[in-house]
Amino acid sequence: MDVRVANVRKEFDRFPALRDVSLDIKSGELIALLGPSGSGKTTLLRLIAGLERPTRGTIYFGDEDASNKTIQERNVGFVFQHYALFRHMTVADNIGFGLKVRPSNKRPTKAEIRARASELLDLVQLSGLEKRYPAQLSGGQRQRVALARAMAIEPRVLLLDEPFGALDAQVRRELRRWLREIHDATGHTTVFVTHDQEEALELADRVVVMSQGRIEQVGTADEVYDHPNSPFVYGFIGESSSLPVKIEDGQVWIADRPIGLSTPNVPNGEATLYFRPHHVELLDECNGCIAGTVAASRRVAGTRRVELEIGGGRERVEIELPVGHPATQKSRVTFRPNRWKVFPKVVE
């Protein structure tokens, strides 16, 4: 099922949680809504589900306008952050609930519901736990039951709110891979919310990066990581260093000299240079480079991270050096980023 969000705005008590958001989700896609808390990602998910109504704008399921349909009419599978399993029901009853509450002409028989529940338990690899209560399950198992319950109603779209948020790192990695497998096997259009970029980049076909109620960028993991389109995305996805620079005639200047980078499309004036710590090349001779003094260095796995003071200590950036590099305290390092981007300073 294609889902289209068109110019949606959502206010809570006049406070805008989403400002004019548009997003196209293709049938069968696995989409991550990624952003810090307060970015509006959960609000967007709840709007798609029908748990909230948009203040303005339209949400389409396929060609039909679903904006004013209730959550029951939209037929979406929603997995809640804390699972919201029904405590007083067994695992099998939880999974069968969506079928049991159907109007009598569409309701499967008890035996059919039971069969469907164990089929889904097989799919989420929890066969044999039909009679357990949620309190008797581990966090990861509850998560799987919640997913099975959402899938039991044959939803048109599967929505997951921070699906791995409450789990420890090990279980989280396992479930991530498993969710991808389930998605590939069942082909549900799936949208999940996360604040964990690793999760989003690893799992999703496309990542929607959100900040302050707006969509900053939509793209594959490669696109948002390699070609961030805004300072926010540069800072939020992966690690990055930034330096205030000046642009003059397409040349990037730091303090009073050019650093050998040209950017013809950026207008003259103040700007900010962004680059990743590992996208640097060290230079022996400096005619056009960034020069800094080592302020601190630490070993991170297979590399060495060095913090440099630039321009007499006014600015600090981090770059990555090979482990063998003889950088020590106070030694001078000259480098130039080999992949970078300059964003003109936004006049507030």
Chain positions contacting other proteins, by CB under 8 A: 49, 51, 70-72, 75-78, 80, 82, 84-88, 97-98, 101-102, 133, 135, 149-150, 152-153
Q: Please, which residue, 33 or 237, has the CB nearer to other proteins?
A: 33
Shortest reach from residue 89's CB to other proteins, in Å: 8
Residue 260 tokens, joined: 């050998």
Shortest reach from residue 139's CB to other proteins, in Å: 11
For 23, which DSSP code?
E
Q: Please, which residue, 161 or 318, has the CB nearer to other proteins?
A: 161
Residue 235 tokens, joined: 């800072």
For 134, which DSSP code?
G
Q: Please, which residue, 40 or 96, has the CB nearer to other proteins?
A: 96
What dihedral do alpha carbons 67, 73, 76, 82 form, nearest 10°?
A: 90
Shortest reach from residue 341's CB to other proteins, in Å: 41
Q: Please, which residue, 53 or 82, has the CB nearer to other proteins?
A: 82
Q: Please, which residue, 87 or 330, has the CB nearer to other proteins?
A: 87
Shortest reach from residue 84's CB to other proteins, in Å: 4
Report the relative pairing of strands 332-337 and 280-282 from DSSP bridges.
Answer: antiparallel
Shortest reach from residue 164's CB to other proteins, in Å: 17
Shortest reach from residue 68's CB to other proteins, in Å: 16
The residue type at 175: L
Q: Please, which residue, 98 or 337, has the CB nearer to other proteins?
A: 98
Q: Please, which residue, 167 or 294, has the CB nearer to other proteins?
A: 167
Q: Kindly provide the residue ranges of all beta strands, DSSP E only, lying in the chain, ordered along the sequence.
A: 3-12, 15-25, 30-34, 56-61, 64-65, 76-79, 157-161, 189-194, 206-211, 214-219, 241-248, 251-254, 257-262, 269-275, 280-282, 290-300, 303-310, 315-321, 332-337, 340-344
Nearest CA to 27 among 148, 146, 193, 205?
205
In angstroms, rounded to a whole number, what is the distance separating the alpha carbons of residues 138 and 296?
Answer: 43
Q: How far is CA 216 from CA 7, 19, 211, in A?
A: 14, 12, 7
Shortest reach from residue 149's CB to other proteins, in Å: 7
User: Could you count the other beta carbons within 10 Å of the beta carbon of residue 224?
Assistant: 27
